[in-house]
Structure 1
């Protein structure tokens, strides 16, 4: 009998639409898989078995009634616990929101339900999406299915690990500095950051409002494109949402899968061409560049000289925005409340609540951001960082006058051991060295598996102009057609 958990989303949807498998059967198979392996992975913070089975039954009823089903109807999906889900716990990986059940769905969640997908539950993440390893979750680290002594990337390691462990065929993540793409790279899965404003932030618990971008995670490029198409598009409830339709990313992925990149011009970012990366990562990237050339792509080197300043600029902009956004978690309006015994002032209750509710990385970034925004330092730090952001945007603009898309490794190294970098924040931050420029620019980026180094996955990143998300899917699908997909060892 076919193992339903090993199928792609396209294959599952085909079985459900054709009546060869019910949505309930598919959902139960994935719930059973979660029960069997998640004690070793810790990908999920909450599994909504009853809700998932009810949604699956609704899909089966619609099929039985002869309704046309969408391309992802009956396909299970895991959702990063940064998106509000009505009546389902949303913690953002933090003690300060432990047990909170939102009264509304995020727009992304609404669109998942409208597409007929089946939400399995909420996935683990670095607290408030601040981290590169999913070790900063208040609920314990997620482990990489390729080697459970190693990290699955972050902040969305739970979503990526759920895919690699075959607990879900699709997942949703959010990407502020690489939190979809970097976990995709180190787990051998596909992670796509859409154009900023191309997917709605309504109901996304904010970290850095000018950077946060929800997006699709999958095991194949086509599956990611189908999920992107389902969740993308304008949302009037999000003031930063772009009032344009999503480019035809599904058609682009199908075109790329033919393996023909004739007429496509790709730029290798000189500053990120593998220098500074682990030897195995650099070698896999070079092999992938050769593979893209054999598919007909023209490869040129492109210099983006200000990319090297992206990391320090990001760690001024993002903490500054987080210090403002997280001020709402004060122990008064919702969530955790500490020390409210009737004998303490409001300020004392707030201080005790935030001390108990926030973890060390969140506190570090709040302090960094508050300092950068403070009187006398705003222009020297936050203001200068925004000028660097403008220069990085100009680098992208100039590059895209020469090439259709840019390519680089996704991350400088493969998955590192749990605990190896938690005592050195700078070494942790380097995990996002190659992904951060895209967030500062606002354009789309995707990570696709491109090889192995010492038996661990390596990802290649494709970056495209804003609202040209289809270009990155075409290139990523073409590379996938050449190098194939990668299967982790059995858990």
Structure 2
């Protein structure tokens, strides 16, 4: 592989080669930056290039290694950071024009942890306004485009990161997820991710002026997207390092106890009132077959109270948002985001007052039912969306658009309300009339067992292959 093609390396391959001295961190960062400068003008995935400081950091890492200093687990790995998380000296805009000059005074825990591990941040990635949309567009930076083509939304809210990592701009992309914002863009672009469970990854923005609402605290998590599932085993232990600024972080190791015998996996194609598309059905079959071949015990199941938990959770989140976000959205949001929120409120009538308190209490009931269920089935393979990923701006198309984008995503936001880990991995590349399109499936795991979900994602990827390879051929 020539030096200019080093951007093709996975995070695992990059870290191994920079640590061994086969390549320099400067060469790895330079190749990723060159790739960014070549493909990002069309994608608009990275909205702030950090090329100069990335090169300087990579040079410093090389100098430290040459002097006998230790190498972190992500030594020289190029990464991107989403613009809704603090990175010292850079604006935490959250895709909002009014926040374009809000410069972060210090790094958020995840940025600190990545730096400590030796990662090199090459750019900051796009998000929709207020990071509360499953598509990525805003008046400040404009639209992010999916590298597979404009027939597919890049997803959101971490759409910039997913488009970047799949296009070869960095081996890892940071994102976050309050209702699906890691898994939507992973599914849209054919990336792999694991939404961590509640308390797994420390979170806090030094620039914030008030604490987030209790449901936002309970449902939102920080994570990474990659183009190779094994990179999550390399990188997620870095993400879960303790930070005292998050008082509710749970300091558990990444790897749990090994299983005795084959892991039992629940399998469902249940999409409730939404039609299951044949391509999604084929993707689920492919994921099931891959796990069976890998030695898993796969059993068809009927998961408990999924639809009820999903709708109660999202209506509760909308109730909290009505109190804590509504004023900012009306004051600083575009007409587009205001219209989308109005439609959200119509389709997910917010719980308020006593209702909100009662449904927040009922969250424990739902979580207990799932805890008992996952005691028998440590992993569950589920659809993510019932249909192939939607087109750009579908959520601006009134009731039917929002119903397809968010209303059908019961398997997504339910996992946030329950606080459970959920991986998302491509299991098929569908050839549809409008063009090729990744189809991802979801792997729900027991609490604290993100590692089991990643193991299963690796087994599926080993059978299906990495979708970055046909994508790069298509991109040229």
Residue number in structure 2 paired with 1:131: 133
Map Cα deviations across residues 187-226 of structure 1 (whole Å, 9 max, x no partner). 1111111121110111286582221100111111111222
Map Cα deviations across residues 418-457 of structure 1 (whole Å, 9 max, x no partner). 2333223232213632122211111211111111122211
For the aligned residue pairs, the C-alpha RMSD in angstroms reads: 2.9
Residue number in structure 1 paired with 2:145: 143
1:476 aligns with 2:452: no
Please list every run of at least 4 consecutive aligned residues from structure 1 whose deviation after the TM superposition is greater than 6 angstroms.
365-371
Q: Where does 1:234-313 land on structure 2 (aligned, <5 Å)?
A: 234-242=242-250, 244-248=251-255, 263-269=262-268, 271-272=270-271, 276-313=275-312
Alpha-carbon contact 1:130-1:361 (below 8 Å) kept: no
Alpha-carbon contact 1:412-1:434 (below 8 Å) kept: no
Report the CA distance shift for 1:365/1:180 in structure 2 as closer, same or farther (over 3 A): same
Residue number in structure 2 paired with 1:197: 199
Report the CA distance shift for 1:361/1:431 in structure 2 as closer, same or farther (over 3 A): farther
Q: Where does 1:171-250 land on structure 2 (aligned, <5 Å)?
A: 171-203=173-205, 208-242=216-250, 244-248=251-255
Report the CA distance shift for 1:447/1:137 in structure 2 as closer, same or farther (over 3 A): farther
Alpha-carbon contact 2:380-2:443 (below 8 Å) kept: yes
SS of the residue corresponding to residue 434 of structure 1 reads helix
Q: Where does 1:394-413 land on structure 2 (aligned, <5 Å)?
A: 394-413=368-387
Alpha-carbon contact 1:266-1:298 (below 8 Å) kept: yes
**Cα separation, 1, equivalents of 2:314 and 2:428:** 30
Judge which range, 96-105 or 158-167, deviates more: 96-105
Report the CA distance shift for 1:366/1:188 in structure 2 as closer, same or farther (over 3 A): closer
Report the CA distance shift for 1:137/1:446 in structure 2 as closer, same or farther (over 3 A): farther
Alpha-carbon contact 1:176-1:212 (below 8 Å) kept: yes
Counterpart among 429, 439, 448 of residue 458 in structure 1 = 439
Uncovered stretches (5+) of structure 2, i.e. residues with no partner:
none
Cα shift at 1:263: 0.9
How many residue pairs align between the two structures? 457
1:420 aligns with 2:398: no
**Cα separation, 2, equivalents of 1:135 and 1:391:** 37
Q: Where does 1:6-85 land on structure 2 (aligned, <5 Å)?
A: 6-85=8-87
Alpha-carbon contact 2:7-2:169 (below 8 Å) kept: yes
Report the CA distance shift for 1:4/1:274 in structure 2 as closer, same or farther (over 3 A): farther
**Cα separation, 2, equivalents of 1:90 and 1:431:** 31
SS of the residue corresponding to residue 416 of structure 1 reads coil
Alpha-carbon contact 1:323-1:365 (below 8 Å) kept: no
Cα shift at 1:152: 1.3
**Cα separation, 1, equivalents of 2:281 and 2:347:** 34
Alpha-carbon contact 2:339-2:396 (below 8 Å) kept: no
Residue number in structure 1 paired with 2:475: 490
Alpha-carbon contact 2:135-2:156 (below 8 Å) kept: yes
**Cα separation, 2, equivalents of 1:15 and 1:145:** 28
Cα shift at 1:358: 9.4
**Cα separation, 1, equivalents of 2:455 and 2:139:** 34
1:360 aligns with 2:362: no
Alpha-carbon contact 1:30-1:168 (below 8 Å) kept: yes
Residue number in structure 1 paired with 2:414: 437
SS of the residue corresponding to residue 22 of structure 2 reads coil
Alpha-carbon contact 2:425-2:440 (below 8 Å) kept: yes
Structure-2-length-normalised TM-score:
0.88
Cα shift at 1:144: 0.9
Report the CA distance shift for 1:73/1:149 in structure 2 as closer, same or farther (over 3 A): same
SS of the residue corresponding to residue 55 of structure 1 reads helix
**Cα separation, 1, equivalents of 2:241 and 2:323:** 27
Cα shift at 1:311: 3.8
Alpha-carbon contact 2:272-2:307 (below 8 Å) kept: no
SS of the residue corresponding to residue 271 of structure 1 reads coil
Judge which range, 111-120 or 274-283, deviates more: 274-283
Map Cα deviations across residues 369-395 of structure 1 (whole Å, 9 max, x no partner). 99846xxx4223x24543553343133
Residue number in structure 2 paired with 1:447: 424
Cα shift at 1:6: 0.9
Report the CA distance shift for 1:245/1:69 in structure 2 as closer, same or farther (over 3 A): same
Alpha-carbon contact 1:323-1:366 (below 8 Å) kept: no
**Cα separation, 2, equivalents of 1:33 and 1:274:** 43
